[in-house]
Amino acid sequence: MSGLLIDLSTPSGVSMALLPEIVLTVWALLLLLVIGWRHHRPDHHRWAGGFTLAGLVVALIVVIGLWRAGAQVEGLPLMIAVDGFRWATACVLLIGAIATVLLSLGYLGREHILVPEFYVMLLFATVGMLLMGGAADLLVLFLGIELMSISVYVLAGIRRQSPQSAEAALKYFLLGAFASGFLLYGIALLYGATGTTNLTAIGFQLSQSAVVHRPMFGFGVALLLVGFGFKVSAVPFHMWAPDVYDGAPTPVTAYMAAAVKAAAFAALLRVSIVALGEAHVAWQTMIWWLAAVTMVVGNLIALAQRRLKRMLAYSSIAHAGYLLAAVATGTAQGVSAFLFYALAYTLMTVGAFAVVGAVGRNGESDLLVDDLNGLSDRRPWLAFAMAVFMLSLLGFPGTAGFIGKWLILTSAVTAGQSSLAVILVGASVLSAGYYLPVVMAMYMKPADRPEVAEGATLTGGARAVVLAAALVLLLFGVWPNRALDVARTTGESLRPAGAVIISSLH
């Protein structure tokens, strides 16, 4: 075995495996101490944002360092996984969090949301997401989900003077708690059926016994998928997403639609392949139907939306269906497709919401597609970036979104799920009905409300996010080779329990 070996049976080994989470936790506690006595002026709020940004960058450097060092577990993974899939998903999640902070620095001051606890909650939510992506035990997974969820409940309602924001937080809290109940009950039933909560041990049990045929196991898997369905906003568990995305501050909406969703999918993939890989019959059909229904319903309802922020909310539901199609394959190729598409989706979603935040005001919930009419005449670079994001979300050739959808299609066809691939293509064609009108409004219609374009401004951090996201999407659209190689190698690191146990014996 080569690379940095980590022994999870020792305190030093556990500390090394959890180093990114430890860094962010310490950073959040320090920030909490400082804002307790420095929270009165706007510059204090900006300082808190800068301090948060530094912590996220340090955590990203730690993750990349461990990844490049080839960190891996000595023996079997116990509570936390140490593999390429964890480091790759951690990079995506931290990039999403960094982009959210950059969007928030100017947005929160403009909207008079001077609440320094915003950044503390963002750090704790990111710690929860990192735990979700690396959980090798169902209990650690549940702790990560709850840490993330509670923090995001607060972020959704951080605009205290807004009834819409309060409504969004309340709906998210009630339905999120409901989903957590399903998830925890599913974990309990799986423990009752297998006698363990460790993902590798569950997979080993399924390969060595007839556990998969027990009703308790089937009910446990079903309840687990219902809980994940809520977290990823899959149809029919999506009812909370449009109202919450619409009522939350736009940077928080971007964070929920991109990073939070990516974390939930990373956890779902690890559970599906490592723990339930030997019982794919028990979950693949359910995931298949969730993916198909989510793609179709999400796109159909998005077609009827005229408010831009709400349209993007339903768009994110449709993209949950695309990502579920990658999960449904249950193969390393599907994992690779997920990793590439998760990065591309994070960039194009955060970028699109950044433009929405720049053009709109007062929460952007009343911003219409027609309000972008003639944006290319007054803000040509902003309109160009928004066009890139819309075309990439559509899956237009020359963008990273096209490459990502192509990878999901090929993984589905290779796994013998051609009908799901056909549904994905049809759903993508449907999405042209609401992505292309945004581009048409900016480039082909005269400005009805010039004051909207005049007020469309981006601060330095948000401008950097929009520019970097657009350039990376175009770069990966025409030259994806390096990213594809990394995704392919990383996808192969997530293996069923049997392969993990065999390799650990040599």
Q: Is the pLDDT reported for residue 391 higher than 50? A: yes
Domain interval for residue 398:
5-504
Q: Which residues pair with 492 in a beta bridge?
A: none
Residue 160 structure tokens: 């205290």
CA separation for the pair 187, 225 (Å, rounded): 11
- The string of pLDDT tens digits covering residues 261-311 is 999 999 999 999 988 877 777 788 889 999 999 999 999 999 988 888 889
Q: Give the pLDDT score at 506.
A: 44
Query: Which of 80-89, 334-343, 494-503 has the weakest average pLDDT?
Result: 494-503
CA angle 323, 328, 329 (to 5 degrees): 105
CB 67 within 8 A of CB 489: no
Q: Give the pLDDT score at 341.
A: 94
CA separation for the pair 162, 182 (Å, rounded): 31
Closest CA to 408 of 396, 420, 399: 420
Q: Is the pLDDT reported for residue 499 higher than 70? A: no
- The string of pLDDT tens digits covering residues 176-228 is 888 889 999 999 999 998 888 888 888 888 877 777 778 888 899 899 999 99
Q: Give the pLDDT score at 456.
A: 67
For residue 133, count other CB atoms closer than 10 A to its CB: 27
455 Cβ contact partners less than 8 Å away, ≥ 6 residues apart: 359, 361
Which ranges of 415-459 would DSSP assign to H, the alpha helix? 418-444, 450-454
CA separation for the pair 149, 129 (Å, rounded): 9
**Number of domains observed in the structure of the chain:** 1
Report the pLDDT averaged over residues 64-83. Answer: 83
Q: Give the pLDDT score at 39.
A: 65
CB 290 within 8 A of CB 235: yes
